[in-house]
Amino acid sequence: MSADVQSNTEALSKVDSAIDDGAPASPSESKIKHRRTSSTVSGVFNINDLEKEGVELKIAPETQRLNWKVNSSSSTVDDKEILKKMLTHPPIKKIDLRFPLGLEVTARNMKGVTIKDALDAIHKQFKKKADDELDAPYLAGFEWDKDECYTRFIVHQKKTGEAAPPSGKKKNKNKGEEA
């Protein structure tokens, strides 16, 4: 029987031309390869790394005047250009968004979380809710309390969707016309 095993081994080594002589015998011996680098973008950070370095995050101020209903799609925002802006500076790959009652959603984007990514994450939780089921259906903005939790933003909501306040330039023009 040992003669059969020996002949099988010899036959395999002769026939198996797909084996690379320099390749390791088992996968555990092979070098561990990292994920694709094409999905990572330079200048976009992991929030945990920023926390270790003590970097200050700045939330885009445009989020406070979106006048967006949480149970409607992000495409309903009036100014579509705002959706393309990064949610934070410096850009991050993911952020947890926590609501006052404890609900938490995560916005992710390997190229940097945009305002649209945050709105889409929130919308996913509320899309099946009717307007009368929501106490405060409009997004009022985000708050970052780095002392409480560095890796989480607090989501603020409001009951009514007031018209967005005009920018400083428009106010100055109106004041000049009235005077």
- With contact defined as beta carbons under 8 Å apart, do 78 and 60 qualify? no
**pLDDT at position 39 over 70:** no
Give 106's DSSP letter: E
- 17 found inside a domain: no
- Peptide bond preceding 90 in cis form (omega within 30 of 0): yes
- 61 found inside a domain: yes
- 20 found inside a domain: no
**pLDDT at position 16 over 60:** no
- 94 found inside a domain: yes
- 51 found inside a domain: yes
- pLDDT of amino acid 167: 45
Give 175 or 129, the one with higher predicted confidence.
Answer: 129
- 121 found inside a domain: yes
**pLDDT at position 84 over 90:** yes
Q: Which domain holds residue 144?
A: 47-163
- Predicted confidence (pLDDT) per residue in 117-146, tens digit: 999 999 999 999 888 888 889 999 999 998
Mean pLDDT of the chain: 79
For 156, counting Cβ atoms within 10 Å of its Cβ (0-12 exposed, 13-18 middle, 19+ buried), the class is middle
Average pLDDT score over residue span 101-106: 92
- 80 found inside a domain: yes
- 14 found inside a domain: no
Give 89 or 9, the one with higher predicted confidence.
Answer: 89
Highest mean pLDDT among 24-28, 76-80, 173-177: 76-80
Split into its structural domains, the chain has a count of 1
Tokens representing 123 are 């919308």
Question: How far is residue 45's CA from residue 170's CA, in Å, rounded to a whole number?
Answer: 36
- pLDDT of amino acid 11: 53
